[in-house]
Amino acid sequence: MTKLTLGPIAYHWSAETRRDFYARIADEAPVDEVYLGEVICSKRAPFHEADLPATIERLERAGKTVIVSSLAEVMLKRERKATADLAAMERPEIEVNNAAGLFERGARPHRIGPFMNAYNEATIRWMAGQGATHVCLPPEMPAEAIAAAAEAAGALGLGVEVQVFGRASLAVSARCYHARSHGRTKDNCQFVCEEDPDGMPLSTRDDTPILRVNGIQTQSESYVDLLPETARLIGDGVTHLRLMPQAADMVAVAAVFRQVLDGALEVAEADARLAALCEGTGLANGFYHGTAGYRRIAMAAPA
Amino acid sequence: MSLAELICPAGTPAALRTAVDAGADAVYCGFQDATNARNFPGLNFTPDELQDAVVYAHMRGAKVLLALNTYPPAGRVDLWREAADAGARIGVDAFIVADMGVADYIARTHPQVRLHLSVQAAASSPEAIRYYCDNFGVKRVVLPRILTIAEIRELRKEIPCEIETFIFGNHGLMVEGRCSLTNYLTGQSTNMDGVCSPASDVEYVRGADGSLSSQLAGFTIDRFGADEKAGYPTICKGRYAAPHRPEGYYAFEEPVSLNLSRLLPELIEAGVHAFKIEGRQRSKSYVRNVVAAFRAAVDDIRAGREANIADLVALTEGQKQTQGAFETKKWR
């Protein structure tokens, strides 16, 4: 049975916003698994990590499987310590996003996050041999590669996850571009990223929206939308579909995907609802179709 | 004091011979396909050319490092395996790798060939580096360009392998091996295809007001006034507008080039084993000038003489340069 998951919040949402968000997810969102934890910026973690145990308890009580994700970039002492602490956890499950986490975790079971660059069957086989139980593929992978990776992972008994909704992570950097845009540096950022709960929009000099800045991360302007492709993903062996939290009604987004998975809603109708939920934000599936990520490729009519 | 090897770019057989003649301790190069991160038209080596290049370099005491530093997409891993097999047969001195599957294959199949961890693996902590050393026998790490010298000095004590750093050339802003910006706009992937802001997608478009837009796949990456020099549309060096910066600004970085020549003595003292010069896409004369200047500087420093840093600084003549993250945390 295909699982619907909610990825970790990429943005600097306040502790209160997060508490409200996860309370609603626990009560109302038809997702099976929820990833928590700070993945992007180690400076943000102190704002919300104290709530982590309560959030885990709340979500598990609602029947969700909880996984805590590790930082994508590990360089500073506090980032190394955060990674080591996470790797030492017995439960819940953890998702590793940096090789430092793999080193710390050793052969104990763990999931592989989308920042780990598990692009192919050889790498997935290696990771499975080192204790990986599940792999989330990089968002830029095309359909053929997803199918080949899923087949190999499935044969090894691993779960295979693909992001089907939300902004794609396009890059991370040591530099904070949020701070830079305000003439600050990462060390004196004053957490200005909190002002942009869905990322800071960048547009070209001829006014075309192009990218979003989220601290050290650069994201796609458009939301990935693989709703029309879910049947093929599942047919190709993908076991988990990931929704990334955006500043949209995520409960409603999850409900649309759930209804399609349950066969309770036609894809065309579902996709129209999804577009309405995303208001002015473009939807894209170019990466999946092996073309520019920002593009929206119409599904071919059934043969 | 470290050996301070000079690792020089070779985009073509001619550039390789030029770099060796100018004093490179090692050259790095790739095959003409997606197995390396400079998969540009007109660049790189056929297996036969690489064979000749290895003979040429070895006769002159220089090493040849083969970059296999992209990430094979599932279903296409054989291309990388065949490249590794060819490299081993030809007798390259090391493979530069990023993908764990590729590293594992080489460690098992060609254990006699050294493995270097590419900057594309983005290993920036002692733990991440040790993961690759412990599991694949990596002998050298090419560090991401995000650490200060003080941090490199500390790192050196905690890892069992040699350190290579970039000192000169194009300066990418994103963590290498974690950037899909090019794929988002063009459909060609830096990680899977070895392509970054490809020339085939570049257009310069003149506006009615005399301005010039440099475009990538139809997106205006920057726009220049009639009196400005138009730059190449590399996505992370473009000018964009944010809501509070409507005039447009370099959101990621200005079009600058990395030049660490002033920091060379400190880097040697910090224990960096090898210095990498970027630029497999550059001309023979560029390679000759840059390699010769750095050769002289490194030899001076190792002999305890004052190096003529002015020559190195002049290499980026007319271009803005930066010491990037290496000098101060304020870069971040």
So where are chain A's domains? 3-169+222-282
Residue A37 tokens read as: 């934890």
User: Is A236's pLDDT higher than 50?
Assistant: yes
Residue A12 tokens read as: 């600097």
Calculate how close chain B gets to A218, using CA atoms only, in Å. Answer: 8
Calculate how close chain A gets to B300, using CA atoms only, in Å. Answer: 33
Q: Which residues of A touch B243 (CB under 8 A)?
A: 200-201
| Contact state of B332 with A204 under an 8 Å Cβ cutoff | no
Q: How many CA atoms lie within 13 A of A37 on its CB side?
A: 25
Q: Which residues of A touch B130 (CB under 8 A)?
A: 103
User: Is B166's pLDDT higher than 60?
Assistant: yes
Phi, psi (degrees; rounded to nearest 5) at B193: -110, -10
Using an 8 Å Cβ cutoff, are B52 and B10 in contact?
no
Using an 8 Å Cβ cutoff, are B302 and B52 in contact?
no
Kind and range of the H or E run holding A231: helix A230-235
| Contact state of A177 with B252 under an 8 Å Cβ cutoff | yes
Q: Which residues of A touch B178 (CB under 8 A)?
A: 72, 115, 117, 171-172
Contact A168/B at CB under 8 A: yes
Is A3-169+222-282 a domain of CATH 3.40.50.970? no
Q: Which residues of A touch B175 (CB under 8 A)?
A: 73, 171-174
User: Is B265's pLDDT higher than 70?
Assistant: yes
Q: Name the E strands within B179-322.
A: 202-206, 212-216, 219-224, 239-242, 245-250, 257-259, 274-277, 321-322
Residue B321 tokens read as: 């340069």
Residue A143 φ/ψ region, left for φ over 0, alpha for ψ in the -120 to 50 degree band, beta for the rest: alpha
Residue in B101, B144, B221 closest to A122 by CB: B101
ipTM: 0.97
Q: What proportion of chain B, given as a percentage, has pLDDT over 70?
A: 98
First-to-last C-alpha distance (Å) of chain B: 29
Calculate how close chain B gets to A297, using CA atoms only, in Å. Answer: 13
Calculate how close chain B gets to A142, using CA atoms only, in Å. Answer: 9
pLDDT band for position B317 (50/70/90)? low
User: Is A177's pLDDT higher than 70?
Assistant: yes
Using an 8 Å Cβ cutoff, are B205 and B215 in contact?
yes
| Residue with tokens 């290696």, as numbered in its chain | A126
What was the pLDDT predicted at B36?
A: 95
What was the pLDDT predicted at B134?
A: 98
Residue in B75, B240, B329 closest to A144 by CB: B75
pLDDT tens digits, one per residue of B21-36: 999 999 999 999 999 9
- Hey, CA dihedral for B279, B282, B288, B293, is it positive or negative? negative
| Contact state of B174 with A173 under an 8 Å Cβ cutoff | yes
**Shortest CA distance from A222: residue in chain B:** B184
Residue in A125, A185, A207 closest to B330 by CB: A185
User: Is B1's pLDDT higher than 60?
Assistant: no
Side by side, which strands form the sheet with B219-224? Answer: B202-206, B212-216, B219-224
| Contact state of B100 with A123 under an 8 Å Cβ cutoff | yes
Using an 8 Å Cβ cutoff, are B96 and B65 in contact?
yes
| Contact state of A80 with B75 under an 8 Å Cβ cutoff | no
What was the pLDDT predicted at B313?
A: 72
pLDDT tens digits, one per residue of B130-165: 999 999 999 999 998 888 899 999 999 999 999 999
Residue B108 tokens read as: 């098992």
Please list the residues that pair with B274 across neighbouring strands.
Answer: B5, B164
What was the pLDDT predicted at B318?
A: 60
User: Is B302's pLDDT higher than 90?
Assistant: no
| Contact state of B127 with A207 under an 8 Å Cβ cutoff | no
Residue B179 tokens read as: 């950037």
Pick among A80, A119, A130, A216 to test the B interface (most B CBs inside 10 A): A119
What was the pLDDT predicted at B50?
A: 98
Amino acid in the structure at residue A197: P
Q: How many CA atoms lie within 13 A of A265 on its CB side?
A: 19
| Residue with tokens 């698994």, as numbered in its chain | A33
What was the pLDDT predicted at B181?
A: 98
Contact A119/B at CB under 8 A: yes
| Contact state of B127 with A80 under an 8 Å Cβ cutoff | yes
**Shortest CA distance from B146: residue in chain A:** A174
Range scoring the smallest mean pLDDT among B92-101, B244-253, B316-325: B316-325
Please list the residues that pair with B206 across neighbouring strands.
Answer: B212
Torsion of CA B88, B91, B97, B100, to 10 degrees: 30
Calculate how close chain A gets to B44, using CA atoms only, in Å. Answer: 24
pLDDT tens digits, one per residue of A72-119: 999 999 999 999 999 999 999 999 999 999 999 999 999 999 999 999
| Residue with tokens 């499935």, as numbered in its chain | A154
Contact A177/B at CB under 8 A: yes
Stretch A263-290: mean pLDDT: 96
Q: Whose CA is closest to B53, among B89, B107, B92, B88?
A: B92
First-to-last C-alpha distance (Å) of chain A: 26
Q: How many CA atoms lie within 13 A of A97 on its CB side?
A: 29
What was the pLDDT predicted at B312?
A: 74
Q: Which residues contact B189 (CB under 8 A, 6 or more apart)?
A: A140, B180, B182, B183, B195
pLDDT band for position B310 (50/70/90)? confident
Mean pLDDT for chain B overall: 93
Homologous superfamily (CATH) of B5-171+256-331 is: Aldolase class I (3.20.20.70)
Stretch B64-80: mean pLDDT: 98
The CATH 3.20.20.70 portion of chain B extends over 5-171+256-331
What was the pLDDT predicted at B170?
A: 82
pLDDT tens digits, one per residue of A43-72: 999 999 999 999 999 999 999 999 999 999
| Contact state of B100 with A127 under an 8 Å Cβ cutoff | yes
**Shortest CA distance from B124: residue in chain A:** A75
Query: Residue B85 burial (CB < 10 Å; 0-12/13-18/19+)?
Result: middle
Q: What proportion of chain A, given as a percentage, has pLDDT over 90?
A: 97
| Contact state of A99 with B178 under an 8 Å Cβ cutoff | no
Q: Which residues of B touch A83 (CB under 8 A)?
A: 127
Q: Which residues of B touch A100 (CB under 8 A)?
A: 125, 127-128, 131
What was the pLDDT predicted at B12?
A: 96
Q: Which residues of A touch B134 (CB under 8 A)?
A: 103
Calculate how close chain A gets to B14, using CA atoms only, in Å. Answer: 34
Residue in A138, A170, A185 closest to B332 by CB: A185
**Shortest CA distance from B133: residue in chain A:** A103
Stretch A195-216: mean pLDDT: 97
Contact A220/B at CB under 8 A: yes
Pairwise CA distance, residues B198 & B203, whole Å:
11
Calculate how close chain B gets to A208, using CA atoms only, in Å. Answer: 8
